[in-house]
Chain A
Amino acid sequence: MRNITFIIVFSLLLLAAFLIPRQAEVAQRADYEYYLNEEHLQKERQELSSRAGFWEKKLEAAPGNFVFQKKLAGLYANGFKLSADIHLLHRSDSLLQEINTRMPGQVGVLQALAANAITRHAFREAESHLREAVEIGANKFTSSLMLADVAMERGNLLEAELLLKDIASDAHFDYLIREVKLHDQSDNLDEAVRTMEKAAGLARVSGDDGILYWALSNLGDMYGHQGKVRKSYETYLEALSHYPAGLHALKGIAWIAFSHDGNTEEAKTILSFLQSVHPAPDYHLMLAEIAAYEGDSAAEQKSKERFIREASRKVYGNMYQSYLCLLKSEGGAAAEALAIAREEVRERPHPMSYHLLAWSSFQTGDKEQALEILEHHVLGKTGEPEALYHAGIILGSSGRKEAARRQLRAAREASFELGPVAAEEIDRRLEQL
C-alpha cells in the first residue's frame, strides 16, 4: 500500500516536472522558435533590395538625379541595419554628400546626413548638419528632435529639455520617444516607461508595424531595467509578432535566458542564430559575458578578442569606441583605453564617457585622477548601473568605503541589467568593504 502510494506520488511528481515548466525560467523556446529562422530577415532584405533595385534603375537612366539619390540613400541606410553591412552606410553617406555639394541647403538631406552621423556616433558632425538645417528653417520639428538626440548623447540634458519643450506634443510618436529618452537619462525610469507605453499606443494606430515593433522592443528593454523580467519577455514576444525579423527583441530574449534564467546554452543558441544572420560585432560581447559566467576563460578571451578585432575596423569609425574602451581598460591595454576615453569625452561629453575616462584612468593606476573625474562629472549625474558599479570599485579602492557601498548597492539593484557576472562581483566587493 505504502509502495503504491509512493509510486503514485512519485509518478505524479515526475509528470508534473515534465508538464509544468520550471517557474524560474522565463524564456521558453516554443514561444520564439518561429522567429529563429532566417526567412523572416530574408523577406525584409528581399523587399529592401527590390526597392533599391527600383531606384537604382531610375538613377541609372538619369545619372545624378538627386531625388532618386535621396531615396537610395535612405534605403541603403536601412539596408545597413538589416544586414550589418557597414559599407551600405558609407554608400548612403556618399550619395547624400554628393547631393549636398551640388545642391546645398536641403533640410531633408542635412537631416539624413545627421541621422547617418548619429549611427556612426559622429555626434559633432551630426550637430553641425542639424544646426545648418535649423538655420534654413523648414521642418524644424524634425531638426529639433534630432538636435535633442544629439544633445542627450552629448550629455547636455538641459539643452535637450529646452529643445523638446519648444515642440512638445503628446500626439507625435516622434516627440514622445524623445521624451522617453529624456526621462531615461534623468533616471526617471517609471516615467520613461509610462511615456513609451503612450508612444506604443500611437504606434499601434499608425498602421506601421516596424514602428510598433520598435516601440515594443524598446519597452521590453525598459521593463527589464525595471526588473519586470516576465513582462519584458512578453513584450518582446509581442514585438516579434508584429515584425518577425526583429533582431533586437531576440537579443533581449537571449539576455533573459542568460541573465535571469541562467540558461546559458539557450542564450548561446539564440546568439549564434543572430550571428549567422546579422554579422555585427555586438554579439561577441554577450558571448564573452556568458563565457565568463560559465568560467570558460578561454572562450571569454576569444570572444573579446574577436569583438576587438572586428569593432576596431576602420569602417566602423566611432561606433564601438565605448565598448573598445571598456574591454581594453580591463584587458591590459589601459593606456590605449585612456586615449579612446579622451576622444569619447571630446565627441560626447556625457557622464558615461567621463565614467570611461575615470575607469580607464583607474586601470592605468591613476586613482587620484579617476576620483577627481568621478566627483566632477559622474557621481550624481547618471544612474546607469555600469557607472555606479565602476564608481563603487574606484571609491572602494580609495578607502571611501561608505560612498563605495552606496554606489555598489545602487548598482546591485540592477543586477538583471548588469548580468550575473557583475552581480557576483558586486556582492564580493560589498563583502570586502
Chain B
Amino acid sequence: MKIKHLLLTALAVTATAMGIVWAADHIDAPAVTSTTSDITDYYAFQSPENADNLVFVANLQGLLDPMATASARFDEQIMVEFNIDNTGDAVEDLVIQAVFRDGKVQAYGPVAPAETGLISRVETDGGLVEAEITQYNEPAIVGSGKGMKVFAGPRDDPFFFDFTQYSEIIAGNASGFNDPGADTFAGTNVLSVVVEVPKSMLGNAATLNTWVESKRKI
C-alpha cells in the first residue's frame, strides 16, 4: 500500500476573482484530479482456480467510502500497465496494458512492448480481451478470450494494515502497535483491475520480476 495521496480528495481550492459581481468565483480551481492515476496496491499470485494461470491485480484510488465508490470512475486518460521481466534484468520483456474506453476495460497483451520504460503506446499487436466495467452493486462482469480473463470495477480494498498506528509510531507519538490492531482500510473500497493469464504466455522463466505502472495519455 502506498499512502502518498490519502488526502487529495480533501483539496478543493476556491480563490475568488474579484471585480465583477456575477462571476465572483470564476476560475477557482477544483479538487485535484490527478488521483485517478494513484496506484494503491499490487498483487500477483497463482490462480486459485487454475494452477496454470497467474493473476495480476492493480488497485487504484484508495479509501473510497461506499457512497464515493458509487461515483468513482476509471479515467480514460490513464493506462494501467502490468510489467513482466522474464530475463532477470528488471526491464520489462512483456506488458499487459489495461485502458478504459466507453465503459469498457480493454486489456492488450501480454506482448513485447515496442519500447520499454516510462513512455508507452497501446500495444495493439498483443490482441485484446475486454469487459464492460462493472458498476457498483452490480455482479462482476468478466471478459474472457485467448485463455485470459479481465475485470475492472470497484472492490473491497483487500489490504489490511494498522496504518494509523504505524504513522503514530513514526511520528514519535507511540512506542509500538496495539493488540489487537485496527485495520485502517476496513470498510473501504478501491477501483480494481484484475487480469488472469496463462503462465505459458509469460515465457519459460521459473521466476518473474513484475510490477505495475500507471501512465497518462500525453
Contacts and interface: CB of A to CB of B under 8 A. Distances in A.
Interface string A172-186: 111001101100100
A111 B5 CA distance: 11
A251 B12 contact: no
If over half of A's interface residues share one DSSP class (helix, strand or loop), that class is named, otherwise mixed; here it is helix
A62 B66 CA distance: 19
B7 interface: yes
B7 A207 contact: no
A182 B18 CA distance: 15
A252 B167 CA distance: 46
A252 B23 contact: yes
Contacts of A58: 187
Interface string B51-65: 000000000000101
Interface string B1-15: 000111111111111
A71 B12 contact: no
Given A108-B7, A146-B13, A180-B27, A385 B19 contact: yes
Interface stretch (B39-47, B73-81, B145-153): B73-81
Nearest to B74: A207
Interface in A306-353: 319, 322-323, 352
Contacts, number: 188
B10 A51 contact: no
Contact of B23 (A62, A202, A221, A352): A221
Nearest to A51: B67
A352 B15 CA distance: 14
A35 B30 CA distance: 22
A95 to B, nearest CB: 10
A207 B75 contact: yes
Nearest to A219: B26
B171 A102 contact: yes
B77 A202 contact: yes
Contacts of B19: 322, 352, 384-387
A202 B182 CA distance: 39
Contacts of B114: none
A135 interface: no
A115 B67 contact: no
Given A55-B65, A255-B22, A77 B10 contact: yes
Contact of B22 (A73, A81, A119, A259): A259
A138 interface: yes
Contact of B32 (A51, A174, A202, A385): A174
Contacts of B25: 248
Given A115-B12, A206-B73, A149 B7 contact: no
Nearest to A146: B13
A139 B4 contact: yes
A142 B34 contact: yes
A293 interface: no
B163 interface: yes
B65 A51 contact: yes
Contacts of B23: 221, 224-225, 252, 255, 417
A92 B12 CA distance: 12
A254 interface: yes
Contact of B7 (A74, A209, A286): A74
Contacts of B163: 67
Contact of A214 (B15, B30, B68): B30
Nearest to A225: B23
Interface of A: 47, 50-51, 54-55, 58, 62, 65-67, 70-71, 73-75, 77-78, 81, 92, 96, 102-104, 106, 108-109, 111-112, 115, 118-119, 121, 138-139, 141-142, 145-146, 149, 153, 169-174, 177-178, 180-181, 184, 202, 205-211, 214, 218, 221-222, 224-225, 248, 251-252, 254-255, 259, 282, 285-286, 289, 319, 322-323, 352, 384-387, 417-419
17 contacts: A70-B10, A71-B10, A74-B9, A75-B10, A81-B12, A108-B8, A108-B10, A112-B7, A146-B29, A149-B29, A170-B218, A174-B29, A205-B75, A255-B21, A286-B21, A289-B21, A322-B18
Interface of B: 4-16, 18-27, 29-34, 36, 63, 65-68, 71, 73-77, 163-164, 167-168, 171, 173, 182, 184, 187, 216-218
Closest 7 CB pairs of A and B: A74-B10, A207-B73, A108-B7, A255-B22, A205-B76, A322-B18, A386-B19
